Amino acid sequence: MTGASHRNWASYGNHVALPAGLPDWQRHLLSDPQTSGGLLVACAPDAAEAVLDIFSRHGCGAAAQIGRMTQARPSVIVDP
């Protein structure tokens, strides 16, 4: 775990809802600067299937749709 992991969590952790009993290592993974960048792609909902197909054809078959954006208070809900 890096020092930046703690700083990252301090900057946005109050916007993240974690499930009860989530192990600390999983929370640390969410804020690890080595894993928290470059992993997300946003696209229009009607393009999601095509985007996942493109990833799959280029060797990223594990890519998955993990959430959606809404016009609500900025937050992240972690649902393992």
DSSP string computed for 1-70 = --HHHHHHHHHHGGGEEPPTT--HHHHHHHH-TTTSSS------GGGHHHHHHHHHHTT-TT--------
pLDDT tens figures, 29-38: 888 887 655 5
Average pLDDT of the chain to the nearest whole number? 85
- 16 and 34, same domain (yes or no): yes
Q: Please tell me the distance from the alpha carbon of residue 18 to that of residue 40, in angstroms, as a whole number.
A: 19
Q: What is the pTM of this model?
A: 0.52
What the block records as the tokens of 44 is 């229009």
Which residue is it, tokens 């020092």?
3
Between 23 and 34, the more confident residue is 23
Provide the domain count of the chain: 2
Structural domain for 24, as ranges:
1-39
Predicted confidence band of residue 21 (pLDDT cuts 50, 70, 90): very high
Give the per-residue pLDDT at 20: 92
- 32 and 56, same domain (yes or no): no
pLDDT at 3 over 90: no
